[in-house]
Amino acid sequence: MNGMDLPLWAAVPAALLLVIGGLLSVIGALGMLRLPDFYTRMHPPTMGTTLGVGSVLIASMLVSSALLHRPVFHELLITLFVVLSTPVTAMLLIRAAVTRERKPPEEQQ
Amino acid sequence: MMQTFRRRISPVQVLVLTALWLLLNQTLALGHLLLGVALAVVLAWGGSTLRPLSARLRRIDVAAALACVVLLDIVRSNIAVARIVLSPYGNRKLHSGFLDIPLELRDPHGLATLAMIVTSTPGTVWVGLSPDGTLLRLHVLDLVDEAHWIELFKNRYEQRLMRIFE
């Protein structure tokens, strides 16, 4: 497999989508660095796991479909599993943070 | 207290699991079809003890509309969060905070779907439900107008989920 037999109609949008996906992930990581506290830092990485992953997967579908000359769309399953599983980790993280911040019972009056 | 229930195999579950198997293997061959159906039946049967509740999708059209709304919101909030992250240090004012939303939605599948929507939208994180299930706490990155936010949330997601699941 080489890049030469990839038709232009697939190559251009796929390249664009990959750049968008990469940018979103980088901005998400940058947000982790720049935002001030744990709760606000929860938000930016979500960009990488939603629209970021989404655009990379669409690019993958385009390129594989063009190269194999048949529709390839099992990448959709990755989206499905990511969407199903991220709430679990997100909730665990934020519950842990909330629990840590809670005062011990003797301090609460 | 033990709850007794009848083990039943939901045909929709079998159909979805079989489709998942065929999609994973990228094939429509007879062998895989049979294997997929067999696996799906066993899994659906086994899973029925783990989760005796079965979801009922009442309104497919509302579900499709909700999916479109959510996709649009994901794109929009990605742009909004990117803007917040990239804004220069000096004039940045962050209005992040916790937001309590009174919930009318009670269906566990509806709530699970809501959790997926909230988590996959950058800028909102699900913190938790109150023990009686009437109050949902979110953490919002850009919380400007609480009342407006609550109304938007209820109209966009909760109403539709209630029509789909309840």
Sign, CA torsion B20/B26/B32/B33: positive
Name the residue range of residue B101's domain: 62-165
Q: Which carries the bigger pLDDT value, residue B13 or residue B89?
A: B13
Answer yes or no: is B84 within a domain: yes
Give the per-residue pLDDT at A57. 93
Answer whether B122 sits within 8 Å of A44, measured CB to CB: yes
Answer yes or no: is B75 within a domain: yes
pLDDT band of residue B38 (cuts 50, 70, 90) is very high
Answer yes or no: is B55 within a domain: no
Give the per-residue pLDDT at A109. 45
Name the residue range of residue A49's domain: 3-107
Answer whether A51 sits within 8 Å of B74, measured CB to CB: yes
Number of structural domains chain A divides into:
1
Contacts of A94 in chain B (CB under 8 A): 125-127, 139
Give the per-residue pLDDT at B128. 87
Average pLDDT over residues B127-146: 87
The token pair that represents B16 in the structure block: 């979805």
Measuring CA to CA, which residue among B34, B94, B43 is closest to residue A43? B94
pLDDT digits (tens, 9 = 90+) for B40-64: 988 888 887 776 677 777 888 888 9
Identify whether residues B28 and B67 lie together within a single domain: no
Answer whether B26 sits within 8 Å of A72, measured CB to CB: yes
Q: Count of CB contacts below 8 A, A vs B?
A: 93
Give the one of A43, A51, A76 whose C-beta lies nearest to B141's C-beta.
A43
Give CA–CA dist B60/B66, Å, rounded: 10
Number of structural domains chain B divides into:
2
Identify whether residues B28 and B105 lie together within a single domain: no
Give the one of A34, A36, A83 whose C-beta lies nearest to B120's C-beta.
A83
Answer yes or no: is B25 within a domain: yes
Identify whether residues B85 and B134 lie together within a single domain: yes
How many C-beta atoms surround the C-beta of residue B118 within 10 A? 22
Residue B89, pLDDT above cutoff 70? no
Q: Which carries the bigger pLDDT value, residue B51 or residue B147?
A: B147
Identify whether residues B75 and B157 lie together within a single domain: yes
Give the per-residue pLDDT at A20. 94
Give the per-residue pLDDT at B6. 62
Answer yes or no: is B129 within a domain: yes
Answer whether B85 sits within 8 Å of A31, measured CB to CB: yes
